[in-house]
Amino acid sequence: MLNFDEARFLRIQAGAVERAAEVAAPLDKCLADGAQNLFFLGSGGAGILMQPAAQLLAAQSQFPSFVAMPAELIALGSRHLGPQSVAVIPSLSGTTPESIEVLGYAKRAGATVIALTGHEDTPLAQAADYNVTNFAEDDTSSESYYLQSLGIALAIQRALGEISDYDEVLAGLRALPRLLVGVKQAAEVAAPELAAAIAADPFHIITGAGSTWPQAFYYGMCILEEMQWIRTRPVHAADFFHGTLELVEQGVSVLLLKGEDAARPLAERVESFVPRYSSKLTVLDAASYPLPGISARVRALISPAVLATVLERVSAHLEVLTGHPLTTRRYYRRVDY
Protein backbone atom coordinates (compact mmCIF):
# COMPACT_ATOMS: atom_id res chain seq x y z
CA MET A 1 0.00 0.00 0.00
CA LEU A 2 1.17 3.50 -0.83
CA ASN A 3 3.00 5.23 2.03
CA PHE A 4 1.56 2.95 4.69
CA ASP A 5 3.39 1.61 7.75
CA GLU A 6 1.33 -1.34 8.95
CA ALA A 7 3.21 -1.90 12.21
CA ARG A 8 2.84 1.77 13.16
CA PHE A 9 -0.87 1.75 12.35
CA LEU A 10 -1.49 -1.39 14.41
CA ARG A 11 0.49 -0.02 17.35
CA ILE A 12 -1.46 3.25 17.40
CA GLN A 13 -4.93 1.74 17.00
CA ALA A 14 -4.30 -1.05 19.49
CA GLY A 15 -3.15 1.67 21.88
CA ALA A 16 -6.36 3.59 21.24
CA VAL A 17 -8.45 0.57 22.21
CA GLU A 18 -6.47 0.12 25.40
CA ARG A 19 -6.85 3.81 26.26
CA ALA A 20 -10.59 3.39 25.59
CA ALA A 21 -10.62 0.75 28.31
CA GLU A 22 -8.35 2.65 30.71
CA VAL A 23 -10.47 5.81 30.66
CA ALA A 24 -13.20 3.88 32.47
CA ALA A 25 -11.35 4.24 35.80
CA PRO A 26 -11.38 8.07 36.03
CA LEU A 27 -14.93 8.15 34.72
CA ASP A 28 -16.07 5.67 37.39
CA LYS A 29 -14.48 7.90 40.04
CA CYS A 30 -16.14 11.02 38.64
CA LEU A 31 -19.53 9.32 38.63
CA ALA A 32 -19.00 8.03 42.17
CA ASP A 33 -18.16 11.60 43.22
CA GLY A 34 -21.46 12.86 41.82
CA ALA A 35 -20.76 13.89 38.23
CA GLN A 36 -24.00 14.87 36.50
CA ASN A 37 -22.98 15.69 32.95
CA LEU A 38 -20.17 15.52 30.43
CA PHE A 39 -18.77 18.09 28.00
CA PHE A 40 -16.78 17.19 24.90
CA LEU A 41 -14.59 20.25 24.32
CA GLY A 42 -12.41 19.60 21.30
CA SER A 43 -11.13 22.28 18.94
CA GLY A 44 -11.48 21.86 15.18
CA GLY A 45 -11.10 18.33 13.90
CA ALA A 46 -10.50 16.78 17.32
CA GLY A 47 -13.84 18.16 18.44
CA ILE A 48 -15.63 16.78 15.39
CA LEU A 49 -14.25 13.32 16.12
CA MET A 50 -15.96 13.35 19.54
CA GLN A 51 -19.42 13.72 18.01
CA PRO A 52 -20.29 10.02 17.43
CA ALA A 53 -19.67 9.29 21.12
CA ALA A 54 -21.76 12.26 22.18
CA GLN A 55 -24.48 11.15 19.79
CA LEU A 56 -24.43 7.66 21.28
CA LEU A 57 -24.90 9.06 24.77
CA ALA A 58 -27.68 11.39 23.64
CA ALA A 59 -29.57 8.54 21.98
CA GLN A 60 -28.98 5.72 24.44
CA SER A 61 -28.02 7.11 27.86
CA GLN A 62 -29.73 9.09 30.56
CA PHE A 63 -26.42 10.85 31.26
CA PRO A 64 -26.48 14.34 29.73
CA SER A 65 -23.64 15.18 27.35
CA PHE A 66 -22.80 18.33 25.45
CA VAL A 67 -20.54 19.11 22.50
CA ALA A 68 -19.22 22.66 22.55
CA MET A 69 -16.60 24.59 20.61
CA PRO A 70 -14.08 25.83 23.19
CA ALA A 71 -13.90 29.40 21.87
CA GLU A 72 -17.68 29.72 21.77
CA LEU A 73 -18.16 28.16 25.20
CA ILE A 74 -15.77 30.72 26.67
CA ALA A 75 -17.57 33.53 24.85
CA LEU A 76 -21.12 32.46 25.73
CA GLY A 77 -20.74 30.31 28.83
CA SER A 78 -22.98 27.43 29.89
CA ARG A 79 -25.11 27.13 32.99
CA HIS A 80 -24.57 23.36 32.78
CA LEU A 81 -20.80 23.53 33.25
CA GLY A 82 -19.75 23.37 36.90
CA PRO A 83 -18.40 21.19 39.72
CA GLN A 84 -20.76 18.42 38.62
CA SER A 85 -19.26 18.29 35.13
CA VAL A 86 -16.64 16.15 33.43
CA ALA A 87 -14.87 17.95 30.58
CA VAL A 88 -13.20 15.79 27.93
CA ILE A 89 -10.63 17.76 25.92
CA PRO A 90 -8.91 16.03 22.98
CA SER A 91 -5.80 17.55 21.41
CA LEU A 92 -3.34 15.47 19.46
CA SER A 93 -0.54 18.01 19.92
CA GLY A 94 -1.52 18.91 23.48
CA THR A 95 -0.70 22.51 22.58
CA THR A 96 -3.86 23.76 20.81
CA PRO A 97 -4.37 27.28 22.20
CA GLU A 98 -8.19 27.13 22.33
CA SER A 99 -8.02 23.77 24.11
CA ILE A 100 -5.57 25.03 26.71
CA GLU A 101 -7.74 28.08 27.28
CA VAL A 102 -10.93 26.05 27.69
CA LEU A 103 -9.16 23.71 30.10
CA GLY A 104 -8.52 26.66 32.40
CA TYR A 105 -12.09 27.85 31.92
CA ALA A 106 -13.53 24.44 32.80
CA LYS A 107 -11.33 24.06 35.87
CA ARG A 108 -12.30 27.52 37.12
CA ALA A 109 -15.92 26.38 36.80
CA GLY A 110 -15.05 23.42 39.03
CA ALA A 111 -15.24 20.72 36.34
CA THR A 112 -13.01 17.65 36.32
CA VAL A 113 -10.90 17.59 33.14
CA ILE A 114 -9.88 14.48 31.22
CA ALA A 115 -7.41 15.20 28.40
CA LEU A 116 -6.95 12.91 25.42
CA THR A 117 -3.54 13.74 23.99
CA GLY A 118 -0.95 12.37 21.62
CA HIS A 119 1.95 13.48 23.82
CA GLU A 120 2.35 13.42 27.61
CA ASP A 121 4.89 16.22 27.94
CA THR A 122 2.53 18.98 26.80
CA PRO A 123 0.62 21.82 28.51
CA LEU A 124 -2.78 20.19 28.10
CA ALA A 125 -1.67 16.80 29.37
CA GLN A 126 0.06 18.28 32.40
CA ALA A 127 -2.77 20.61 33.41
CA ALA A 128 -5.61 18.09 33.18
CA ASP A 129 -6.91 16.25 36.22
CA TYR A 130 -6.53 13.03 34.24
CA ASN A 131 -4.59 12.56 31.03
CA VAL A 132 -4.86 9.68 28.59
CA THR A 133 -2.07 9.67 26.01
CA ASN A 134 -2.02 7.63 22.84
CA PHE A 135 0.63 8.69 20.37
CA ALA A 136 -0.80 9.26 16.90
CA GLU A 137 -0.27 11.48 13.89
CA ASP A 138 -2.69 13.05 11.46
CA ASP A 139 -3.09 9.96 9.27
CA THR A 140 -4.01 7.78 12.27
CA SER A 141 -5.73 10.25 14.60
CA SER A 142 -9.31 9.82 13.34
CA GLU A 143 -9.60 6.13 14.21
CA SER A 144 -7.70 6.71 17.45
CA TYR A 145 -10.05 9.43 18.66
CA TYR A 146 -13.18 7.64 17.49
CA LEU A 147 -12.16 4.60 19.54
CA GLN A 148 -11.11 6.56 22.64
CA SER A 149 -14.28 8.65 22.73
CA LEU A 150 -16.40 5.56 22.11
CA GLY A 151 -14.70 4.05 25.16
CA ILE A 152 -15.84 7.05 27.20
CA ALA A 153 -19.46 6.66 26.12
CA LEU A 154 -19.45 2.91 26.75
CA ALA A 155 -17.82 3.34 30.18
CA ILE A 156 -20.53 5.75 31.24
CA GLN A 157 -23.26 3.40 30.04
CA ARG A 158 -21.65 0.50 31.88
CA ALA A 159 -21.35 2.48 35.10
CA LEU A 160 -25.02 3.45 34.91
CA GLY A 161 -26.14 -0.12 34.18
CA GLU A 162 -27.36 0.85 30.72
CA ILE A 163 -25.49 -1.88 28.84
CA SER A 164 -24.73 -5.48 29.75
CA ASP A 165 -22.34 -6.33 26.91
CA TYR A 166 -19.47 -3.94 27.67
CA ASP A 167 -16.86 -6.72 27.75
CA GLU A 168 -18.12 -8.22 24.49
CA VAL A 169 -18.04 -4.84 22.75
CA LEU A 170 -14.53 -4.17 24.03
CA ALA A 171 -13.41 -7.57 22.76
CA GLY A 172 -14.73 -6.61 19.34
CA LEU A 173 -12.83 -3.33 19.46
CA ARG A 174 -9.62 -5.14 20.37
CA ALA A 175 -9.95 -7.20 17.18
CA LEU A 176 -10.56 -4.11 15.09
CA PRO A 177 -7.04 -2.74 14.38
CA ARG A 178 -5.97 -5.86 12.50
CA LEU A 179 -9.28 -5.90 10.61
CA LEU A 180 -8.84 -2.27 9.63
CA VAL A 181 -5.62 -3.22 7.86
CA GLY A 182 -7.77 -5.50 5.71
CA VAL A 183 -10.14 -2.59 5.09
CA LYS A 184 -7.18 -0.49 3.92
CA GLN A 185 -6.06 -3.26 1.58
CA ALA A 186 -9.54 -3.45 0.07
CA ALA A 187 -9.81 0.34 -0.22
CA GLU A 188 -6.41 0.59 -1.89
CA VAL A 189 -7.82 -0.89 -5.09
CA ALA A 190 -10.22 2.00 -5.77
CA ALA A 191 -8.31 4.73 -3.92
CA PRO A 192 -6.29 6.01 -6.91
CA GLU A 193 -9.43 6.40 -9.02
CA LEU A 194 -11.32 8.20 -6.27
CA ALA A 195 -8.35 10.45 -5.56
CA ALA A 196 -8.20 11.35 -9.26
CA ALA A 197 -11.91 12.16 -9.28
CA ILE A 198 -11.56 14.39 -6.21
CA ALA A 199 -8.56 16.17 -7.71
CA ALA A 200 -10.36 16.73 -11.01
CA ASP A 201 -13.20 18.81 -9.56
CA PRO A 202 -12.89 22.20 -7.83
CA PHE A 203 -15.87 21.63 -5.53
CA HIS A 204 -17.48 18.70 -3.73
CA ILE A 205 -20.65 18.30 -1.71
CA ILE A 206 -19.86 15.79 1.04
CA THR A 207 -22.59 14.31 3.21
CA GLY A 208 -23.55 11.60 5.69
CA ALA A 209 -25.90 10.94 8.60
CA GLY A 210 -25.74 9.49 12.09
CA SER A 211 -22.25 8.51 13.13
CA THR A 212 -20.86 9.05 9.62
CA TRP A 213 -21.85 12.71 9.42
CA PRO A 214 -18.91 13.78 11.64
CA GLN A 215 -16.53 11.87 9.35
CA ALA A 216 -18.03 13.59 6.29
CA PHE A 217 -17.64 16.97 7.98
CA TYR A 218 -14.11 16.14 9.14
CA TYR A 219 -12.94 14.89 5.76
CA GLY A 220 -14.35 17.90 3.96
CA MET A 221 -13.05 20.55 6.36
CA CYS A 222 -9.86 19.08 7.79
CA ILE A 223 -8.52 17.04 4.89
CA LEU A 224 -9.81 18.38 1.59
CA GLU A 225 -9.98 22.03 2.65
CA GLU A 226 -7.15 22.37 5.16
CA MET A 227 -4.71 19.85 3.77
CA GLN A 228 -5.49 20.00 0.03
CA TRP A 229 -7.12 23.43 -0.47
CA ILE A 230 -10.06 21.81 -2.26
CA ARG A 231 -13.39 23.55 -1.72
CA THR A 232 -16.15 21.45 -0.17
CA ARG A 233 -19.69 21.81 1.11
CA PRO A 234 -20.14 19.45 4.06
CA VAL A 235 -23.85 19.08 4.79
CA HIS A 236 -25.79 16.61 6.92
CA ALA A 237 -27.87 14.21 4.84
CA ALA A 238 -31.04 15.41 6.60
CA ASP A 239 -30.23 19.04 5.75
CA PHE A 240 -29.25 18.13 2.20
CA PHE A 241 -32.93 18.51 1.27
CA HIS A 242 -33.26 21.94 2.86
CA GLY A 243 -31.05 23.93 0.53
CA THR A 244 -28.05 22.04 -0.78
CA LEU A 245 -30.09 19.89 -3.18
CA GLU A 246 -30.51 23.00 -5.34
CA LEU A 247 -26.77 22.92 -6.09
CA VAL A 248 -27.00 19.47 -7.66
CA GLU A 249 -26.81 19.46 -11.44
CA GLN A 250 -24.88 17.56 -14.07
CA GLY A 251 -21.17 17.74 -13.29
CA VAL A 252 -21.53 18.48 -9.57
CA SER A 253 -19.64 16.01 -7.39
CA VAL A 254 -21.37 14.50 -4.35
CA LEU A 255 -19.49 12.24 -1.91
CA LEU A 256 -21.80 10.24 0.34
CA LEU A 257 -20.70 8.30 3.44
CA LYS A 258 -23.03 5.51 4.56
CA GLY A 259 -22.89 3.92 7.99
CA GLU A 260 -24.55 0.94 9.62
CA ASP A 261 -26.57 2.68 12.34
CA ALA A 262 -30.25 3.63 12.39
CA ALA A 263 -29.57 6.82 10.40
CA ARG A 264 -28.64 4.85 7.28
CA PRO A 265 -31.99 5.58 5.53
CA LEU A 266 -31.16 9.31 5.61
CA ALA A 267 -28.06 8.60 3.53
CA GLU A 268 -30.00 6.31 1.22
CA ARG A 269 -32.40 9.14 0.49
CA VAL A 270 -29.49 11.20 -0.88
CA GLU A 271 -28.23 8.15 -2.76
CA SER A 272 -31.59 7.83 -4.48
CA PHE A 273 -31.91 11.53 -5.36
CA VAL A 274 -28.52 12.57 -6.74
CA PRO A 275 -28.20 10.20 -9.75
CA ARG A 276 -31.34 11.70 -11.25
CA TYR A 277 -29.48 14.99 -11.73
CA SER A 278 -25.73 14.29 -11.59
CA SER A 279 -23.62 11.33 -12.64
CA LYS A 280 -20.91 12.30 -10.15
CA LEU A 281 -22.14 10.51 -7.05
CA THR A 282 -19.52 8.56 -5.08
CA VAL A 283 -20.75 6.33 -2.25
CA LEU A 284 -18.50 4.95 0.46
CA ASP A 285 -20.39 2.37 2.49
CA ALA A 286 -19.00 0.98 5.73
CA ALA A 287 -21.19 -2.09 5.27
CA SER A 288 -19.29 -3.09 2.12
CA TYR A 289 -16.09 -3.88 4.02
CA PRO A 290 -15.84 -7.34 5.64
CA LEU A 291 -15.05 -7.36 9.36
CA PRO A 292 -14.99 -11.06 10.28
CA GLY A 293 -16.10 -11.76 13.83
CA ILE A 294 -17.44 -8.24 14.47
CA SER A 295 -21.09 -8.24 15.52
CA ALA A 296 -23.73 -6.04 13.94
CA ARG A 297 -23.92 -4.17 17.25
CA VAL A 298 -20.23 -3.26 17.13
CA ARG A 299 -20.26 -2.55 13.40
CA ALA A 300 -22.95 0.08 13.98
CA LEU A 301 -20.66 1.78 16.51
CA ILE A 302 -17.51 1.82 14.39
CA SER A 303 -18.74 3.00 10.97
CA PRO A 304 -16.90 6.34 11.24
CA ALA A 305 -13.61 4.58 12.07
CA VAL A 306 -14.04 2.22 9.11
CA LEU A 307 -14.69 5.12 6.73
CA ALA A 308 -11.80 7.13 8.18
CA THR A 309 -9.56 4.17 7.37
CA VAL A 310 -10.89 4.04 3.80
CA LEU A 311 -10.49 7.76 3.26
CA GLU A 312 -6.93 7.75 4.58
CA ARG A 313 -6.04 5.56 1.61
CA VAL A 314 -7.68 8.08 -0.71
CA SER A 315 -5.75 10.92 0.93
CA ALA A 316 -2.45 9.05 0.55
CA HIS A 317 -2.98 8.90 -3.22
CA LEU A 318 -4.44 12.40 -3.41
CA GLU A 319 -1.37 14.13 -2.00
CA VAL A 320 0.86 12.32 -4.49
CA LEU A 321 -1.46 13.05 -7.39
CA THR A 322 -1.75 16.75 -6.59
CA GLY A 323 1.87 17.18 -5.52
CA HIS A 324 0.51 18.84 -2.39
CA PRO A 325 1.68 17.08 0.82
CA LEU A 326 -0.94 16.80 3.52
CA THR A 327 1.40 18.69 5.85
CA THR A 328 1.52 21.83 3.67
CA ARG A 329 -0.31 24.87 5.10
CA ARG A 330 -0.53 28.53 4.19
CA TYR A 331 -2.01 29.91 7.39
CA TYR A 332 -2.75 27.23 10.01
CA ARG A 333 -0.20 27.62 12.81
CA ARG A 334 1.93 29.67 10.41
CA VAL A 335 0.51 33.17 10.84
CA ASP A 336 -1.22 35.02 13.65
CA TYR A 337 -5.02 34.89 13.61
What is the tens place of the pLDDT at every residue in 20-38?
999 999 999 999 999 999 9
Of the pLDDT bands very low, low, confident and very high (cuts 50, 70, 90), residue 50 is very high
pLDDT at residue 135 in the model: 96
Q: What is the maximum span of the chain, computed from C-alpha positions, in angstroms?
A: 58
C-alpha distances in Å from residue 334, one per residue of 101, 327, 328, 329, 337? 20, 12, 10, 7, 9
Smallest Cα–Cα separation from 14: which of 185, 186, 179? 179
C-alpha distances in Å from residue 98, one per residue of 6, 83, 104, 124? 33, 21, 10, 11
In the chain, pLDDT over 70 holds for what percent of residues?
100
Of the pLDDT bands very low, low, confident and very high (cuts 50, 70, 90), residue 124 is very high
AA identity, residue 160 = L
Sheet arrangement for strand 65-67? 65-67, 37-40, 85-91, 112-117, 130-133
Burial bucket for residue 330 (CB in 10 Å: 0-12, 13-18, 19+): exposed
pLDDT at residue 198 in the model: 98
Domains of the chain: 6-164 (3.40.50.10490), 176-322 (3.40.50.10490)
Residues 205-256 pLDDT 10s? 999 999 999 999 999 999 999 999 999 999 999 999 999 999 999 999 999 9
pLDDT at residue 17 in the model: 98
Rounded Cα distance between 223 and 240, Å, is 21
Rounded Cα distance between 276 and 250, Å, is 9
Residues 144-201 pLDDT 10s? 999 999 999 999 999 999 999 999 999 999 999 999 999 999 999 999 999 999 999 9
C-alpha distances in Å from residue 173, one per residue of 17, 60, 77, 166? 6, 19, 36, 11
Rounded Cα distance between 153 and 155, Å, is 5
Contact criterion met (CB below 8 Å) for 116 and 145? yes
Residues 57-67 pLDDT 10s? 999 999 999 99
Mean pLDDT calculated for residue range 99-108:
98
pLDDT at residue 318 in the model: 98
Smallest Cα–Cα separation from 252: which of 213, 207, 201, 208? 201
For residue 64, the number of C-alpha atoms closer than 13 Å in the C-beta half-sphere is: 8
pLDDT at residue 186 in the model: 98
What's the pTM value of the predicted model, to 2 decimals? 0.97
Contact criterion met (CB below 8 Å) for 330 and 238? no
Of the pLDDT bands very low, low, confident and very high (cuts 50, 70, 90), residue 334 is very high
